[in-house]
Chain A
Amino acid sequence: EVQLVESGGGLVQPGGSLRLSCAASGFTFSSHAINWVRQAPGKGLEWVSAISGSGNSPYYADSVKGRFTISRDNSKNTVFLHMNGLRAEDTAVYYCAKALSATVWWWPYWGQGTLVTVSS
């Protein structure tokens, strides 16, 4: 069974940093892309970042480019989202999701999310 568990969320001051983790199990981790999607309170979904199975190809939304870095450790079946320069508008539930297959980047498997609150 595919499982994705996010962690690392919490309260951080504006300008601060946080590292989110997405721990995966139940599939061949290094073969599948993982992405992060966020949802601000009461708002819609916003795609944030994605990384290929090998880790060689990262992608970012314009709103986070230069501030967030996605990486993965395939030996630990974990993807990370390093968030720097956090702003109030980054407050959201952050979900990670696994691709449908090695080459099809649709997202049928999701974690339950971790809440990031940016506030002084």
Chain B
Amino acid sequence: EIVLTQSPATLSLSPGERATLSCRASQSVNDYLGWYQQTPGQAPRLLIYDASNRATGIPARFSGSGSGTDFTLTISSLKPEDFAVYYCQQRSSWPMTFGQGTRLEIK
């Protein structure tokens, strides 16, 4: 199965700052990589799919890039509601897999 490794495990930033989250795949997933946001007690929310496409209703400050094995989620200017846990997921091959998550916390 494809292993997704996210870094860093925890990212401490202040509102207004730029956040850069990384996801590395153990083998190529082409561009079949998505990003989810999860806040405590809530279901995950799809932010980005196919590496760079924003899902419906997702603000423009969220952007995704990358292909093959290295991917990045960028949040251009953090708002208070963006502090959450972020997961990447691949759908290139079965079984689908998630990364272990990056916790974005307020500094």
Contacts and interface: CB of A to CB of B under 8 A. Distances in A.
Interface of A: 35, 37, 44-47, 50, 59-62, 95, 97, 100, 104-108, 110-113
Contacts, number: 56
A108 B46 contact: yes
Contacts of B95: 47, 59-62
Interface residues of B, number: 24
A20 to B, nearest CB: 15
B38 interface: yes
Given A37-B44, A59-B94, A105-B91, A44 B101 contact: yes
A45 B36 contact: yes
B34 interface: yes
Interface string B73-107: 00000000000010101010011111111000000
